[in-house]
Chain A
Amino acid sequence: MFRKPTKWSVMKTLILKDIDDLIIGSLGIVAFISFFVGGVVAIQTSLNISNPLIPKYLVGFATRQSIILEFAPTFISIIMAGKVGSFITSSIGTMRVTEQIDALEVMGINAINYLVFPKFIALTLYPFVISISMSLGILGGLAACVYGGYGTFEDYIEGVQNDFIPFHMAYAFIKTMVFAFILATIPSFYGYFMKGGALEVGKASTTSFVWTSVVVILVNYLITSLLLG
């Protein structure tokens, strides 16, 4: 990927375009899902607390832990495997079947560097997406809790602040960076090395989504065992 790198003036444009397509373009769906899933986690937690001895702030605590430890880094990555991963596979795959990659190679351009490296760099901003997901998830929980009548503002905020372990943030962002690498490489691989026509582009996108999700789940298990186990 790093042999014969593309001219910086061209690469800069490609990186900015991929940041727009992969990061900025994903913010809307990530924000929407995070806010409402945060709300649902808060409601579910609240409804399952029947014992009066359990403190009310547990709703905020449980929502924070669920969102920061698993929902934002892992499940948003699976959603991104569908959105961003399919986009990467289908865009590179379409370039393959319409001979655009051959055109790059004939011109002596390192096609992998030209196509994959900007996506790789763009996805180093993926933790920014996950930070937004975490914030909106917790905010969604707060909104559902307060406006749904499941608890008070003060209880929820107390729960969010209670027993906060900074290493959990480090754990979440280490996972996020690894998932960003997976999101850039597996879909690019399936797009770049695909053969056939339009139908195969669709099949490659599906296969890429399945394998990216499987690898994310397995790697999540491994990282969790190593860092928290």
Chain B
Amino acid sequence: MIEVNNLHKSFGEAHILKGITTSFEKGKTNLIIGQSGSGKTVFLKCLLGLFEYEEGSIAYDGKIFNEFSPDEKRDLRADIGMVFQGSALFDSMTIAENVMFPLRMFTKQSKSEMEDRVNFVLKRVNLDGAHKKMPSEASGGMQKRVAIARAIVNNPKYLFCDEPNSGLDPKTAIVIDNLIQEITDEYQMTTVINSHDMNSVMEIGEKIVFLKDGYKEWEGSKDTIFKTENEAVTNFVYSSELFKKVRKMYLEENQ
């Protein structure tokens, strides 16, 4: 579980995060949503420890990050898996080498043990047989699955995904969403996804945090988001005619 309390982050004069308090639960897919410029990426990078913040705290399973010793911070990073928006696969390595990379860096496993683990994880993300391909030879969907495989190969406690569906067709996006949700459930990880894909919100949003102008405007789940009267949320989520109709049908069915 990750608990965030009164988080503030600025870049010079620009105050980006303005006192965010929320929590992300273990074994659930937690979504951070909001318009471009709302502070989602900065928030995610603060959670990852890539950005330092001026005020507030982030606690991982009850322990406050800023109070960690350097060794504890290093141990925590070994427990974090991250799926980047552009996959961020290492160009000079094959798919199997990319997935094996965290094992090579952080474990003392033998080569055969590492290969077994890579085979298992690649099979889990339905990429059996793609071991020797280079990232440039893989499609966008395949690259995202490799990134997920690399993120989970070390059995992390926390999985972070920055817009995992960006640039993917709707069908592949749903495959990736479902894969993340299945893996979260299977390994009981605390998963935090930064997204502005409304399909993801409706499919896997077990907990949703809506950011607006650096504030936490609303939080709920994929069920409560249909019922919310918060104008900022409804304007953002139901901006398309399709989602307006979906919401109307949901509300009629559940009256």
Contacts and interface: CB of A to CB of B under 8 A. Distances in A.
Contact of A7 (B80, B84, B105, B160): B105
Interface string B88-119: 11111000000000101110000000000000
A103 B91 CA distance: 13
A99 B104 contact: no
A108 interface: yes
A48 B105 CA distance: 61
Contacts, number: 49
Interface of A: 4, 6-7, 9-10, 17, 94-95, 98-100, 102-103, 105-109
Interface size bracket, B side: 20 to 34
Contacts of B90: 95, 100, 103
B109 to A, nearest CB: 12
Given A7-B104, A94-B91, A108 B84 contact: no
B124 interface: no
A98 B84 CA distance: 9
B104 A9 contact: yes
A108 B77 CA distance: 5
Contact of B48 (A7, A9, A17, A106): A106
B188 interface: no
B50 interface: yes
A88 B140 CA distance: 27
A145 B133 CA distance: 52
B44 to A, nearest CB: 10
Contact of A108 (B78, B85, B91, B92): B78
Contacts of A99: 84-86, 88
A17 B78 CA distance: 26
B193 interface: no
Given A7-B104, A10-B105, A108 B88 contact: no
